[in-house]
Amino acid sequence: MPPNRLKRVGLVVPAPNPTVEPEVRRLLPPELAVHATRLPLLAGDLQARNDALAAHYPAAVKSFGTLQLDAIFLGATGPTYALGAVRERELAARLSGDAGAPVETANLAILNTLRSIDAAGIVLIAPYPDWLMARAVAYWEGAGIRVAQVIPMAGEPRGYKVGTADVHTALRKAQAPAGGAVIFGGAGMATLDAIATALPEFEVPLLSANLCGAWRIAMRLGARPGADLARAAPALAARLPAPRPTAAD
């Protein structure tokens, strides 16, 4: 890498997703440049789109062209639940080879984070229809993560419309197991502000795909935490290089 070049993070995002770019940008420090590409907008209902979207991941990763990236985060959860963690890890390895840079998929980012904190079980909160929630539960349990509680959000595919108030309402129902974590399924959910404000009420981490993805990218690149990562996940942020002192310090 040329001296003084900013390290570059690529984001691969579903076409209508409004959340991944702004949340990841807030979670990463400013010295990491962030660039995004979008997956194609597919026809059909939610299940048809989920079943077809992963086939477009290789082209999306290659769509950055000659832009030299140091890591890539693939911000979509639904399309790879049906694969299971083992096959998803194989997919991530192939994508990393195509990109010439490590690729962290959303579900693996969560799974790797859960394993790094030795989570004993999870509460799963998601705006999924029943069939997708069933796939999510099967994915986590197949990966050896006990799903202690499932909290659907309105029972419909409305992830891109979920706001802070919705997240707080769901969190009031959560009964997290000791030594576990609360997981928000769906990278399109806007959860970052709710996580940061609700965290003092919980004795377990509150984790989203975007939060875990940003943390894993920062770990890979040896980067310090962004301000919002330190606010929403202080225990994870403490594993990264120390934040730079500000003028006020």
Question: Please, what are the domains in the chain?
Answer: 7-237 (3.40.50.12500)
Question: For residue 58, is pLDDT > 80?
Answer: yes
CA angle 70, 64, 105 (to 5 degrees): 60
Kindly state the average pLDDT of the residues 188-213. 95
Question: For residue 5, is pLDDT > 90?
Answer: no
Q: What pLDDT, on a 0 to 100 scale, did the predictor assign at position 249?
A: 42
Kindly state the average pLDDT of the residues 152-181. 80
Residues 29, 220: Cα–Cα separation, whole Å: 14
pLDDT-based confidence at 109, cuts 50/70/90?
A: very high
Mean pLDDT of the chain: 92
Residues 7, 97: Cα–Cα separation, whole Å: 19
Question: For residue 163, is pLDDT > 80?
Answer: no
Q: What pLDDT, on a 0 to 100 scale, did the predictor assign at position 180?
A: 96
Kindly state the average pLDDT of the residues 92-102. 96
pLDDT-based confidence at 120, cuts 50/70/90?
A: confident
Q: What pLDDT, on a 0 to 100 scale, did the predictor assign at position 165?
A: 83
pLDDT-based confidence at 247, cuts 50/70/90?
A: very low
**How many C-beta atoms lie closer than 10 Å to residue 48's C-beta?**
11
In 3-state terms, what secondary structure has residue 150?
strand
Q: What pLDDT, on a 0 to 100 scale, did the predictor assign at position 244?
A: 63
Choose the weakest-confidence range: 43-57, 155-169, 198-212, 234-248: 155-169
Q: Residues of the chain with pLDDT > 90: what percent?
A: 81
Residues 196, 200: Cα–Cα separation, whole Å: 8
Residues 171, 163: Cα–Cα separation, whole Å: 13
Q: What pLDDT, on a 0 to 100 scale, did the predictor assign at position 166?
A: 85
Kindly state the average pLDDT of the residues 63-72. 96
Residues 222, 224: Cα–Cα separation, whole Å: 7
